[in-house]
Amino acid sequence: MKKFWIQCTAITVFVFGMMWAVSIVSDLKLFNKFDTISLAFADFELTDYAFNQLREDPKVDERIVLVNFGKLSRRQVAGMVQKINQHKPKVIALDARYICEGGLRDSINCPQLRDTIGNLLLSNAIMEAENVVMGEKLMQTDSLSRFDSNVSDSIEISDDIFSDYSYEGFVNFPTNAAWQEDVKQVRTFWPYFIVNGKRELAFSTQIANLYDSGKVKKFLARNKEEEIINFYGNIEVVQLKVKTSKVNDTNSTNFGTGFYVIDYLDVYQGNFVPELFKDKIVIIGYLGDELGDTAWEDKFFTPLNKKIGGRANPDMFGPVVHANAVAMILNENYIDEIPQWFQYMIAFIFCWLTVALFAWMDANLPIWYDALSVIIQIIQIFLIMIVIVLAFAYWNLKLDLSITLLATALVGPCYDIFKSVQNEIQNRLTKRRELVSKTAV
């Protein structure tokens, strides 16, 4: 029995050694150019299936309203903010930064400065609205960016004429995009970031904080550097003369409408009911040059995308992603994860039990071993995948069992390799003992 335990443990350790070797090859990306299937599903996680197929369509979160400002000038945005503020929203969030790129503050390099009155109008509109959140951007100095670090040592905020009268929150998402126009996939966000010893709140966190600071306090008490966004839904073009009426759109997600949205023209023309903005969170940002636009600017791939693998078109604009994060905080509907040490423990125990089962079959059912081992592995992998999806869909628990899946897939080949090597060593030792015995005689 002791020998059996030792053997099973040795094979399990061998499996984990092979997993380590596989991880090194994966990091080197030696076969990426030839592995078209892996490339097509590189942006896919099993939990995406839960978002796309298993969760019920949410009800519209009427606390949050999105407003598209298209390509409006600062003067036009000022007018829109003033019109919205007349209806007493609780928070106005501007997903924008009004700065001079490159730090050159002259009318040639920064033409926005030419409209002095427009800038003053926007500044005054922000000041009058009081509870305004503006976007800021986490930045790296040149010396830090050489190290490709996730640490940010500076913040890019709007000019003082605007930021002096507003709150700020950074709009960055952890997308792994190499540059701004690169394909951007978002699943998570940073609730806050420490920059030069100061805590900077995310745009979504700051918005929620102004709306309900108590819930944000609970949220930050989770003390997680990165939170998975429990996506609530996308936007749909609505006819807001009658607030609850909707028209079908070409939605790029399987989830239903999560938030109401209104275009800047409707704001200017007054095509909305007064209650739309009263005591609400109003997030103003770019949702296309006009609503229904298929532009890719400030647009992300999310788990709600209709295409689970090999995604071609991004499905959600940045302001909508922020709205989803705000809704998650206000609903206190977080997604939990298991710690990494627990992932390894589950993988080791599951792997050891599988090895023990294979060893028993090899000893007692040698004729059926090959067929049964393959069937058992397929069933195990299938069941693990079902558990991952169901845990996410019904308990908001992300079970990262990728290590367990990989270990399960490698148990069969590793067991065969280990047994072959073990048998060869035993045969050599047996022949050597026989040779020694004959020599002694």
Do residues 318 and 218 both lie within one domain? yes
What total of structural domains would you count in the chain? 2
Does residue 354 share a domain with residue 327? no
Question: Do 25 and 105 reside in the same domain of the chain?
Answer: no
- φ, ψ at 296 (rounded to 5°): -100, -5
Q: Give a yes or no: residue 411 inside a domain.
A: yes
Of residues 178, 188, 183, 187, the one with CA closest to residue 312: 183
Residue 50, in any domain of the structure = no
Report whether pLDDT(437) > 90: no
170 and 212 share a domain? yes
Both 35 and 180 in a single domain? no
Task: Determine the pLDDT at residue 80.
Answer: 96
| pTM of the predicted model as reported, rounded to 2 decimal places | 0.86
CB contact set of 196 (below 8 Å; sequence gap of 6+): 153, 154
One domain for residues 345 and 328: no
Q: What is the pLDDT of residue 38?
A: 47
Answer whether residue 99 is part of any domain. Answer: yes
pLDDT over 70 percentage in the chain: 82
- Asked which of 334, 357, 377 is the last residue of a domain, the reply is 334
The answer to whether residue 47 is domain-embedded is no
350 and 390, same structural domain? yes
Q: Kindly report, residue by residue over 131-186, the tens digit of the pLDDT.
A: 999 999 998 765 555 555 566 778 999 999 999 999 999 999 998 766 666 668 89
Does 279 lie in the same domain as 147? yes
Of residues 50 and 322, more confidence is placed in: 322
pLDDT tens per residue, range 244-296:
334 444 455 555 578 999 999 999 999 999 899 999 999 999 999 988 777 78
Same domain for 63 and 115: yes
pLDDT computed for residue 53 by the predictor = 75
User: Whole domain around residue 342: which residue ranges?
Assistant: 2-42+337-440
Q: Is residue 270 part of a domain?
A: yes
Half-sphere exposure of 212 (CA within 13 A, CB side): 17
Domain end, chosen from 274, 307, 334, is at 334
Q: Are residues 383 and 402 in the same domain?
A: yes
Instruction: Answer yes or no: is pLDDT of 37 > 60.
Output: no
For range 64-69, the mean pLDDT: 96
The answer to whether the beta carbons of residues 156 and 136 sit under 8 Å apart is yes
Among 15, 404, 432, 410, which residue's Cα sits nearest to residue 7? Answer: 15
Domain C-terminal end among 334, 356, 381:
334
Residues 207 and 350 in one domain: no
If asked whether residues 261 and 361 sit together in one domain, one would say: no
Give the Cα-Cα-Cα angle 175, 169, 218 (nearest 5 degrees). Answer: 90
Q: Which residues, other chains included, contact 247 with Cβ-Cβ below 8 Å and sequence gap of 6+?
A: 236, 237, 238, 239
Assigned domain for 51 exists: no
The answer on pLDDT for 20 being more than 50 is yes
